[in-house]
C-alpha cells in the first residue's frame, strides 16, 4: 500500500515539475516590458522613434506601449498605436501588427491616418503569402484587404502600392489554379482540369499565366474531342499572344490534328512579361511624419530638444510601407 502511495507522490511531483517548466517556457517567449517609471510623454515617444531608427523593433514597441500606458488620453497615445503596428511589422510580428491596426481603426475610424492602419494591415497579409503549392488563405485575405485600401483611399500613395500588389496577388492565385489544373491533367481528369484553366482565363486574364491556360484549354478540348472549342481558344491565344512560345506549341498541336489555326505564329516575339512576386520592406511607407516646426514642446520638458515626431523613413532590411498623410500636431 505504501509503495502505491509513493508512486502516486512521484507522479504528482513529476506532473507539477512539468507544468512549472512549461509555464516558464511560455513566459520566456513573452516580450519583456519596461519597468514602470513615470516619464514625460515627449521623452517616451522620441526614444521609441530613436529605437525604430536603430532597427530595435521590440524596444521601440515597448516605448510606444509606455506612451499609451502612462499618457492614454494624449495625442501621442493615438500616434503610438500606429508606430507599434509599424515596429511589429518590421519585426515580422504580423499578427501583432494587424491587431494594432485593427485597434486603431476601432478607436479612430474617422481619423485621416486610419488610411495607414488599413494599408499596413493589408501589407501584413501580403507578407504572409506562401508559394502556390501551399494553402492560399493568406493570399485571399491580402487581396480583400488591398482592394479595401484602393476602394477607400483611391488617390493616395497607399492605393498606388496596393494596386501593384493586387496584380502580384492575382498572379499568385492564377498560379494556384494552374497548379491544380496540371495535377488534374496528370490524373487523367481532363474535365476538372479544363474548369481550372477556364477560371484563369475568365478571372485572371491579365496575369502571366493566361497564355499557358489558353494552351492547356486547346490541349484539353482536343482530348475531349471538342474541336471547335480547341480552335476558338487557339485563336484567342494567337490573336493576343502571337509571339508567345505557348502559341507556337498550340499551333503545332492544332496542325497535327489537321486543324488550321486562325493566326500564324510570330517568330522572335518573346513570351508574356511576368510580374515578379517580390517583397521589399524598403519600399513600404512608414507612418506619417509631422513637420518639426509644428511641434509645440516646452523647452523645460525637452532639455535636449529631441525631435518628437521624427519617423523612420530609412530603408528597411527588406520591407516597405506607405505613410499616412501628415497631420498638424497638438498645440
Q: Domain ranges for the chain, please list them.
A: 41-129+278-301, 170-256
What are the pLDDT digits (tens) for 99-133? 999 999 999 999 999 999 999 999 999 999 877 77
Quickly state the pLDDT bin for 281 (edges 50, 70, 90).
Answer: low
What are the pLDDT digits (tens) for 130-185? 777 777 788 889 999 999 999 999 999 999 999 999 999 999 999 999 999 999 99
Cα three-residue angle 90-47-97, rounded to 5 degrees:
25
Report the pLDDT value the prediction gives residue 301, as an integer from 0 to 100: 36
Tell me what the mean pLDDT of segment 268-286 comes to. Answer: 54
What are the pLDDT digits (tens) for 26-85? 443 456 666 556 778 899 999 999 999 999 999 999 999 999 999 999 999 999 999 999
Please give the CATH architecture assigned to the domain spanning 170-256: Alpha Horseshoe (1.25)
Share of the chain above pLDDT 90, in %: 60
Query: How many whole angstroms separate alpha carbon 308 and alpha carbon 290?
Result: 9
Quote the cell numbers at residue 146.
488591398
What are the pLDDT digits (tens) for 307-322? 333 333 333 444 555 4
Tell me what the mean pLDDT of segment 292-307 comes to. Answer: 35
Neighbours of 96 (CB within 10 A): 18
Same fold, 41-129+278-301 and 170-256: yes
Position 222 pLDDT exceeds 70: yes
Tell me what the mean pLDDT of segment 269-277 comes to. Answer: 45
Fold (topology level) of 41-129+278-301:
1.25.40
Report the pLDDT value the prediction gives residue 324, as an integer from 0 to 100: 45
Note every long-range contact of 299-304, with CB atoms under 8 Å and residues 24 or more positions apart, other chains counting.
301/40, 301/42, 302/40, 302/42, 302/43
Percent helix, strand, coil in the chain, to 5, is: 65, 0, 35
Query: How many whole angstroms separate alpha carbon 33 and alpha carbon 66?
Result: 9
Amino acid at each position: 500500500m505504501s509503495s502505491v502511495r509513493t508512486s502516486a507522490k512521484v507522479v504528482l511531483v513529476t506532473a507539477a515539475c512539468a507544468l512549472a517548466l512549461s509555464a516558464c517556457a511560455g513566459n520566456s517567449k513573452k516580450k519583456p516590458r519596461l519597468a514602470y517609471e513615470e516619464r514625460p510623454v515627449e521623452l517616451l515617444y522620441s526614444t521609441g522613434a530613436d529605437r525604430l531608427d536603430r532597427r530595435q523593433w521590440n524596444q521601440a514597441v515597448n516605448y510606444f506601449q509606455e506612451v499609451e500606458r502612462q499618457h492614454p488620453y494624449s495625442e501621442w497615445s493615438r500616434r503610438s498605436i500606429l508606430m507599434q503596428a509599424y515596429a511589429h511589422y518590421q519585426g515580422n510580428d504580423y499578427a501583432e501588427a494587424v491587431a494594432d491596426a485593427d485597434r486603431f481603426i476601432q478607436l479612430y475610424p474617422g481619423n485621416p491616418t486610419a488610411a495607414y492602419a488599413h494599408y499596413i494591415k493589408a501589407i501584413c497579409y501580403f507578407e504572409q503569402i506562401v508559394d502556390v503549392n501551399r494553402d492560399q488563405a493568406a493570399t485571399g485575405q491580402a487581396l480583400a484587404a488591398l482592394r479595401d485600401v484602393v476602394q477607400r483611399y483611391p488617390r493616395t500613395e497607399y492605393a498606388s502600392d496596393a494596386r501593384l500588389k493586387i496584380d502580384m496577388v492575382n498572379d499568385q492565385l492564377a498560379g494556384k489554379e494552374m497548379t491544380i489544373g496540371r495535377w488534374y491533367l496528370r490524373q487523367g481528369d481532363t474535365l476538372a482540369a479544363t474548369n481550372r484553366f477556364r477560371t484563369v482565363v475568365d478571372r485572371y486574364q491579365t496575369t502571366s499565366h493566361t497564355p499557358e491556360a489558353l494552351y492547356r484549354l486547346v490541349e484539353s478540348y482536343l482530348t475531349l474531342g471538342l474541336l471547335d472549342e480547341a480552335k476558338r481558344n487557339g485563336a484567342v491565344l494567337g490573336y493576343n499572344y502571337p509571339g508567345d512560345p505557348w502559341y507556337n506549341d498550340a499551333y503545332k498541336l492544332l496542325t497535327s490534328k489537321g486543324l488550321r489555326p486562325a493566326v500564324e505564329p510570330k517568330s522572335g516575339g518573346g513570351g508574356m512579361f511576368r510580374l515578379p512576386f517580390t517583397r521589399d520592406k524598403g519600399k513600404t511607407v512608414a507612418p506619417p511624419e509631422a513637420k518639426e516646426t509644428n511641434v509645440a514642446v516646452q523647452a523645460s520638458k525637452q532639455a535636449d530638444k529631441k525631435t518628437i515626431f521624427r519617423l523612420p523613413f530609412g530603408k528597411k532590411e527588406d520591407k516597405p510601407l506607405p505613410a499616412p498623410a501628415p497631420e498638424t500636431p497638438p498645440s
